[in-house]
């Protein structure tokens, strides 16, 4: 096994005179299946295509685009694992001090709006090569979208990049179809999980409000968002058209889910499972630390959290790997020279969703106007953790493995509908002193807007969790994860969280400020003041002072927050809570 070429010398070692594809990525080159460029480049390689990696090129030197020569078929461009603006800025729009996807030192970094920057570089060097953009930044910005950092509606990113094709979602099937068409000189149209610019649209296309309409009218924005949201299904989704001036963005339906065998093939490819050695003198890449000994067991999430973009990226349908493939990866990890005996995680977007959705999904798609878990767990869901548990058990038995952790999110409302066996085994073998779960809030009103279950579900789970740990004689804590400043959250809603935390005798060290990122229901609420799935008005807290108040009411014990928290509680006539805070 070797890394893919990063320069002409690497190409020569392989006997390559010309690449088929140059892959430009905003992240450092890490050949691991947790990185999109790692997967897509290895998938292309497995089909016989020659791929070179140009990671984080200096934006002031466009000539770097030609450093490995002109590729035969085209250039692939991705901003990386994260949208470049999310990667570079906090929810307060402050520049992040550390980029986990770049070397700790050296000149490498990801530019703001990386896709646009890289594509402009390409156009300066090669005007005739097809440009294919993909990854999270492309996928979540493929329609006209609200951009939090500029506080305005931007057009589809395919227009700003002037790319020939946009691939969205998890693109293994799609990239091979695209590569084959380029090789055979066939047009790049009517390919699932892609979008193009066109002058004409098919008669059966679903036409949503135009860029010009959504830019000027927030009701039209919410309408367009809801129309797109309901089409994110490979079985039911329609072709979607959105006018931008005299041209259209034409979005084809999502690709069909990968079978278990197809998933296995993707994850069984010969990844180096580490960052390229060129980063060693620069301090390495921090992002590899968490995933180096982690295993992806499945993709997709039917949780339906409104602040999450999974619907627009991985989708709601679960796609899983076989037990054999997971165990084979576990063996690879356990045989690494630097393995310490701990598999860091086995899961996906939600760890305990590996084997559960209703049986009609693959025939009929997901229910269009119903959620699987909200407002309560659907009675048609098949809930069974036994297969996931058996995988964890077998991984524990591998030679050299001391512990197998589950650190991906656990949906406790879903877990409660099964028997206690999985939770007990989780507590016995797969937790390191604490389990993080995500009630997100305590107010019923805000939880409804988030698409999350009642806080009562959390309290039921907490009681069961504590009873099991007491029975097995383990001192393990439950850490609730909370979001502040979500659209619709009033001061009274925040005070409900304050009271909840006081009752629980818990004050979180970390909370997440709501971050309006492209492609989420909650971001649509934030921009428009409208819930796009119900058309109801939503009052949106904005501004740094509102953000500070909400944080203070959650982290009221922090010295910097005490005065503000007390002041707000007094103004809301909650002197009873002030007295309780003073005793802390």
pLDDT in tens, 230-250: 999 999 999 999 999 999 999
The number of folded domains in the chain is 2
Could you say which of 191, 221, 240 is where a domain stops? 191
Domain assignment present for residue 221? The answer is: no
Q: Is residue 34 part of a domain?
A: yes
| Contacts of residue 520, Cβ cutoff 8 Å, sequence gap at least 6 | 306, 307, 308, 309, 312
Listed residues 191, 217, 246: the one ending a domain: 191
Over residues 437-495, the pLDDT tens digits come to 999 999 999 999 999 999 999 999 999 999 999 999 999 999 999 999 999 999 999 99
What is the predicted pLDDT for the residue at 358? 79
pLDDT over 70, % of the chain: 98
Does residue 298 lie in a domain region? no
pLDDT confidence bin for 107, thresholds 50/70/90: low
pLDDT band at 584 (very low <50, low <70, confident <90, very high): low
For residues 510 and 501, what is the distance between their CA atoms, to the nearest angstrom?
13
Residue 209 lies in a domain: no
Among 143, 164, 191, the domain boundary falls at 191
Alpha-carbon span 507 to 556, nearest angstrom: 8
What is the C-alpha separation between 375 and 389, in angstroms, rounded? 27
- Rounded mean pLDDT, 135-150: 98
Burial (Cβ within 10 Å: 0-12, 13-18, ≥19) of residue 544: exposed
Q: Which residues contact 161 (CB under 8 A, 6 or more apart)?
A: 77, 115, 116, 119, 120, 131, 133
Q: What is the CATH number of the domain that holds 132?
A: 3.40.50.280
Structure tokens that stand for 167 in this block:
């691939």
For residue 172, give both structure tokens. 């293994």
Residue 582: its pLDDT value, please?
Answer: 81
Helix (H, G, I), strand (E, B) or coil at 166: strand
Average pLDDT of the chain, as a whole number: 95
Residue 384 covered by a domain? no
Q: In this structure, is residue 155 part of a structural domain?
A: yes
pLDDT tens digits, residue range 336-374? 999 999 999 999 999 999 875 676 665 677 888 889 999
Nearest residue to 523 via CA among 81, 153, 79:
153
pLDDT of 520 reads 97
Task: Convert the pLDDT of each residue in 280-330 to its tens digit.
Answer: 999 999 999 989 999 999 999 999 999 999 999 999 999 999 999 999 999
Beta strand extents in 79-229 (DSSP E only)? 131-134, 145-147, 152-154, 165-167, 194-198, 206-208
- CATH value at residue 493: 3.30.750.200
pLDDT at 536: 97
Q: Is residue 161 situated within a structural domain?
A: yes
> What pLDDT is attached to residue 365?
77
Nearest to 553 by CA among 538, 542, 564, 537: 564
**Range of the structural domain that residue 133 is part of:** 8-191
**Could you give the CA distance from residue 160 to residue 443 in angstroms, rounded to a whole number?**
40
| Residue 229 falls inside a structural domain | no
Picking from 276, 391, 397, the residue whose alpha carbon sits closest to that of residue 345 is: 391
- Is the distance from CB of 399 to CB of 334 less than 8 angstroms? yes
Q: pLDDT tier at 172 (50, 70, 90 boundaries)?
A: very high
| pLDDT tens-digit map of 523-533 | 999 999 999 99
For residues 104 and 359, the model is more confident at 104
Quote the DSSP letter at residue 280: G
- In which residue are the tokens 């097809």 written? 130
Alpha carbons 495 and 443: distance in angstroms, whole number: 9
* pLDDT of the residue at 359: 67
């Amino acid at each position: 096994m070797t890394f893919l070429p990063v320069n002409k010398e690497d190409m020569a070692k392989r006997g390559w005179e010309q690449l088929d594809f140059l892959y430009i990525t905003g992240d450092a080159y890490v050949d691991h299946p947790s990185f999109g460029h790692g997967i897509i480049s290895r998938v292309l390689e497995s089909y016989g295509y020659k791929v070179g990696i140009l990671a984080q090129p200096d934006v002031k030197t466009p000539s770097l685009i030609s450093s490995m020569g002109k590729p035969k078929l085209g250039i692939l461009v991705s901003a990386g694992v994260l949208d470049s603006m999310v990667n570079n800025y906090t929810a307060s729009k402050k520049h992040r001090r550390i980029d986990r996807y770049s070397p700790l030192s050296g000149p490498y970094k990801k530019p703001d709006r990386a896709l646009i920057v890289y594509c402009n570089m390409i156009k300066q060097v090669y005007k005739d090569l097809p440009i294919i953009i993909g990854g999270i930044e492309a996928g979540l910005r493929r329609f006209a979208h609200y951009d939090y950092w500029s506080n305005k509606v931007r057009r589809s990113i395919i227009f700003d990049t002037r790319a020939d094709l946009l691939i969205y979602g998890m693109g293994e099937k799609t990239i091979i179809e695209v590569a084959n068409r380029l090789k055979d000189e066939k047009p790049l149209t009517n390919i699932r999980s892609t979008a193009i610019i066109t002058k004409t649209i098919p008669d059966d296309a679903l036409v949503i409000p135009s860029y010009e309409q959504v830019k000027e009218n927030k009701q039209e924005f919410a309408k367009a968002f809801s129309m797109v949201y309901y089409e994110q299904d490979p079985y039911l989704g329609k072709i979607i058209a959105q006018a931008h001036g005299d041209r259209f963005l034409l979005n084809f339906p999502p690709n069909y889910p990968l079978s278990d065998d197809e998933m296995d093939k993707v994850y069984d490819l010969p990844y180096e499972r580490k960052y390229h050695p060129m980063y060693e003198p620069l301090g390495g890449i921090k992002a590899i630390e968490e995933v180096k000994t982690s295993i992806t067991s499945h993709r997709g999430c039917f949780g339906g959290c409104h602040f999450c973009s999974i619907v627009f990226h991985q989708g709601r349908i679960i796609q899983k790997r076989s037990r054999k493939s997971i165990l084979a990866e576990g063996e690879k990890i356990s045989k690494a020279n630097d393995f310490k005996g701990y598999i860091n995680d086995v899961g996906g977007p939600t760890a305990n969703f590996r084997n559960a959705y209703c049986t009609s999904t693959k025939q009929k798609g997901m229910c269009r106007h119903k959620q699987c878990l909200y407002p309560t767990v659907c009675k048609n869901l098949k809930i069974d953790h036994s297969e996931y548990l058996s995988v964890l058990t077998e991984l524990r038995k591998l030679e050299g493995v001391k512990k197998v952790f589950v650190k991906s999110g656990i949906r406790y409302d879903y877990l409660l509908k099964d028997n206690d066996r999985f939770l007990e085994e989780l507590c016995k073998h797969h937790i390191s002193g604490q389990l993080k779960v995500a009630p997100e809030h305590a107010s019923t009103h805000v939880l409804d807007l988030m698409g999350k279950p009642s806080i009562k579900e959390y309290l039921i789970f907490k009681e069961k969790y504590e009873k099991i740990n007491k029975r097995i004689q383990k001192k393990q804590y439950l850490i609730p994860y909370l979001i502040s400043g979500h659209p619709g959250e009033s001061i009274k809603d925040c005070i409900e969280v304050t009271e909840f935390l006081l009752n629980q005798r818990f004050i979180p060290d970390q909370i997440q400020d709501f971050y309006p990122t492209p492609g989420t229901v909650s971001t649509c609420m934030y921009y428009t003041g409208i819930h796009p799935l119900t058309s109801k008005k939503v009052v949106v807290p904005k501004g740094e002072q509102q953000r500070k108040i909400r944080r203070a009411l959650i982290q009221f014990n922090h010295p910097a927050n005490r005065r503000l928290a007390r002041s707000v509680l007094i103004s809301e006539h909650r002197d009873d809570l002030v007295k309780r805070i003073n005793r802390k």
